[in-house]
Structure 1
Amino acid sequence: MSQETFDLVVIGSGPGGYVAAIRAAQLGLRTACVEKDPTLGGTCLNVGCIPSKALLESSERFAAARLHSAEHGIKIGGVELDLPTMLGRKDKIVKQLTGGVAGLFRKHKIHWAKGLGKIVAPGKVEVAGETTEVLATKRILIATGSVPATIPGVAFDGDRIGHSTHALAYPSVPEHLIVIGAGVIGLELGSVWARLGAKVTVLEYMPALLPIMDPDVSKVAAKLFAKQGLDIRLGVKVTGATRKGDTVEVAFTAPDGQSQTITGDRVLVAVGRKPNTEGLGAEAVGVQLDRRGFVQVDAHYATAVPGIWAIGDVIPGPMLAHKAEEEGIAAVEGMAGQPGHVNYDAIPNIIYTHPEIASVGKTEPELKQAGVPFKKGSFPFLANARAKALGETDGMVKILAHAETDRVLGVHIIGPRAGDLIAEAAVAIEFSASAEDIARSVHAHPTLSEVVKEAALDAGGRVLNI
């Protein structure tokens, strides 16, 4: 058994963990990062954000070639799906990016401790890999992320009944894919396989679609998903799933209380994720978890145990890779005596469906509930020249601003490139900009960003192009 001493040991190499390790190394801390999987990058790079976006892009191009090329004057005799090549492209991108993280570790002289990390005492992490390694350290940062959540009566079999990781590598297009959960994962992966030819039924427990999003955006999304062929059933409680050969029968209770069943050849359970603390040993050394299993931290990401911090999916808050990154940087900078911080009002949330959905800041119901006076402006992509040229005119931008100060409080977008457009809104909120600041900033023409400008103009009662 070998033992080394470090200034910081990060447990987990996802976006939060690996970025924190790099920032720590930049600040002069001798750093180690513990990772149990054979490649770095965590869920996001290996089986989450990156591979799903690769499949979303490929499936979108496939659908566009089949359905929309003719309107551009492009005649295609036939479009054929080569699923193995599509999946291979996804795997190649993942390999490039995870390899890139390994290269960054080498560049910054970060020690990769390969194996499952366990906190055996404050200041000591045991890593069980091919050999057992003990890391003595002044500080420990827990960045172990999350794992797929489950529901009673539905057990994963890794084949016909699975979670998001399985849905990234189906060997063939399902005839009928049943998705349990209409959140980000369910809608994104449901969209992938629907574009490739599967019948997709989505069973959602909540009575409304995307309740975390602004209602105006959610309403538009529901209409567009239905138009795309996604059969989304709301207010449904799934009670069981039984495999019968190569099919699965899913039992559920309908909104009217009646028990029903539906049969498909694959089931994707996408009911969210839960914090990953199994085998970590955190509670044994005094780290406090809440009733849902999240690690409890203070405003500086410190746990109740001196010398142990936690960030990312394993602590309360939205499970977003970029949130974890910023928390990792802030936590490490705080350890080094610098004023790191995260503005949680300026963290964008994106759903990479078609069209994309993106938001930052407060929704209209949140402002009403808090009693904050606000005004709003909106503008449709239908009236935007660049959107017409792209042939992508569905959706809108909505801006919420304080009624008295005009400070931007929330921005909500459904439409083409929404995930890119939301960056302007995040910067505006970070720097306490007003809607007029956005309206008076020059936006190039013709661009999709002009829709953001027009929505800001509309908040001030002076929209120009509608």
Structure 2
Amino acid sequence: METFDVLVIGGGPAGYVAAIRAAQLGFRVACVDAFTRDGKASLGGTCLNVGCIPSKAMLDSSEKYEMLQHDFADHGITVQGASVDLGKMLSRKAGVVDKLTGGIAYLFKKNKVTSFHGYGQFVRQDGDAWVVDAAGTEVKAKHVIVATGSNPRALPLAPFGGHVVENSGALAFEQVPTKLGVIGAGVIGLELGSVWRRLGAQVTVLEALPGFLMAADDAVAKEALKQFQKQGLEFHFGVNISKVEQSDGGVSVTYTEKEQEVTVTFDKLIVSIGRVPNTDGLGADSVGLALDERGFVKVDSHYRTNLPGVYAIGDVIGGAMLAHKAEEEGVALAEMLAGQAGHVNYDVIPWVIYTSPEIAWAGLTEKQAKAQGLQVKTGQFPFSANGRALGHGDPRGFVKVVADAQTDRLIGVHMVGGNVSELIAEVVAIMEFGGSSEDLARTIHAHPTLSEVVKEAALAADKRALHM
């Protein structure tokens, strides 16, 4: 029986990062992961294989096609006869995934992390260590990290299969659907709906909540919805779905909206209503690993479970189900195991939706801050007044900062526009160090850049924006 200092169950962003960081810190580390893509073992979990990475590849490809059709003419570039080779587009996506998942395997080898392919299951406690069945091989480890991630939540009325798909199926359509339904107007629904809308599908989004992007700042949500509707995405809010029926030709959905019952038929239906913790096959019951009422692994502030020497991180413990949050937990836990002060600041985790325009935010919205009793001041500046945005031909959206009116500390930033997924990091860094809107406003930004909009928004918080 092989013995390790640390055994990680799960090779997604939480697990593989924890394994690599623990190895860097001198631990003897193994990782067991069951993910299979195209019949082969593939590290990286949902994110690299069927989530973050392939979806961004498809978003980029489809946006280039959209720009070719609608935007290049404004730049004096005329193209005729443009067409989509969907097979080649999907092949490119797969190539990006292969490169990155292969990179994780390389990093494991470089850092001397032993890799097992298959399911990891708790077997028994052995003194101060745990015996785990790692894909049919019993291994012993003093520290076991559960990083098994999450799975798409199915709609009870519409189990996955046939014309009803989750994120992985929505990234592999063999042809562009004529009519595409999306249940759920969250990150996944908006991104995948955008991909297929750009490629020619008529997309209808059905959302149970009464409003759009209710976790985002009101002004950002309002602007984003306006832009998406302008693009042709059709939204219905406050719907109650009562029936989903599949046939050879597609799938029909019956729902009630404003007391009116409606039935619509789609070629394909994407269900993106959240994710559930993946603890199947872990053997939690057999060793008494505590789960909460929703199935998440219970942990304390140091990611310790109720079992000595067993920890959990990433989607399986709940909270923000984001790859970068999971990675930071992996680093923090590995450093804690080494006696260091690992830490994750959950107050400044950035959220990004990679649509066009992009949406990004971190910290509190204006409404949330006021609900907490804080006095706030806000500053907002549009991309339409920015030279680089106008040069790009994309003046949509704005940046909004929220600061404490008494201390000037930045407590939130909210963006909608081109490349805001990159702009958000600057403000997150300032917030991480407890910075103020004045710190941001007095930081020199290169001209002409989109980042100047961030500076101007901070200036606007004190009513001294220079270019508006």
Q: TM-score scaled to structure 1, two decimals?
A: 0.97
Aligned partners of 1:283 and 1:289 also within 8 Å: no
Could you report, residue by residue, the CA deviation over 1:257-281 in whole angstroms, capped at 9, with x for unpaired residues? 3322110110001111111111111
Summarize the alignment of residues 258-273 of structure 1 with structure 2, pairs less than 5 Å apart: 258-273=260-275
Consecutive unaligned residues of structure 2, counting only runs of 5 or more, are: 36-40
Consecutive unaligned residues of structure 1, counting only runs of 5 or more, are: none
Is 1:192 the counterpart of 2:190? The answer is no
* Distance in 2 between residues matched to 1:155 and 1:359, nearest whole Å: 33
1:33 corresponds to which of 14, 31, 44: 31
* Distance in 1 between residues matched to 2:224 and 2:124, nearest whole Å: 49
Is 1:135 the counterpart of 2:139? The answer is yes
Summarize the alignment of residues 193-208 of structure 1 with structure 2, pairs less than 5 Å apart: 193-208=196-211
Summarize the alignment of residues 279-290 of structure 1 with structure 2, pairs less than 5 Å apart: 279-290=281-292
SS in 2 for 1:144: coil
| Corresponding position of 1:332 | 334
Alpha-carbon RMSD across the aligned residues, in angstroms, is: 0.8
* Distance in 1 between residues matched to 2:155 and 2:170, nearest whole Å: 17
Identity percentage of aligned residues: 54
Aligned partners of 1:345 and 1:429 also within 8 Å: no
Q: Runs of 4 or more off by more than 3 Å in structure 1? A: none
SS in 2 for 1:139: strand
SS in 1 for 2:138: strand
**2:441 is matched by which residue type in structure 1?**
A
| Corresponding position of 2:102 | 99
Is 1:126 the counterpart of 2:128? The answer is no
| Corresponding position of 1:22 | 20
SS in 2 for 1:17: helix
**1:388 is matched by which residue type in structure 2?**
L
Is 1:444 the counterpart of 2:446? The answer is yes
**1:215 is matched by which residue type in structure 2?**
D
Summarize the alignment of residues 26-175 of structure 1 with structure 2, pairs less than 5 Å apart: 26-37=24-35, 38-122=41-125, 123-128=130-135, 132-157=136-161, 159-175=162-178
SS in 2 for 1:241: strand
Q: CA deviation at 1:180?
A: 0.5
Aligned partners of 1:152 and 1:240 also within 8 Å: no
| Corresponding position of 1:395 | 397
* Distance in 2 between residues matched to 1:69 and 1:126, nearest whole Å: 56
Could you report, residue by residue, the CA deviation over 1:137-179 in whole angstroms, capped at 9, with x for unpaired residues? 001001000000012211111x311111000000000000000
Q: CA deviation at 1:316?
A: 2.1
SS in 1 for 2:194: helix
SS in 2 for 1:302: coil
| Corresponding position of 1:252 | 255
| Corresponding position of 2:423 | 421
| Corresponding position of 1:275 | 277
* Distance in 2 between residues matched to 1:313 and 1:237, nearest whole Å: 28
Q: CA deviation at 1:127?
A: 2.1
**2:78 is matched by which residue type in structure 1?**
K
Could you report, residue by residue, the CA deviation over 1:121-146 in whole angstroms, capped at 9, with x for unpaired residues? 24111123xxx101100010010000
Could you report, residue by residue, the CA deviation over 1:52-86 in whole angstroms, capped at 9, with x for unpaired residues? 00000000000000111110000112211110010
SS in 2 for 1:7: strand
* Distance in 2 between residues matched to 1:119 and 1:106, nearest whole Å: 25
Q: CA deviation at 1:240?
A: 2.5
| Residues paired across the two proteins, number | 459
* Distance in 2 between residues matched to 1:120 and 1:403, nearest whole Å: 55
SS in 2 for 1:80: coil
Aligned partners of 1:47 and 1:168 also within 8 Å: yes
* Distance in 1 between residues matched to 2:124 and 2:276, nearest whole Å: 24
| Corresponding position of 1:13 | 11
Q: TM-score scaled to structure 2, two decimals?
A: 0.97
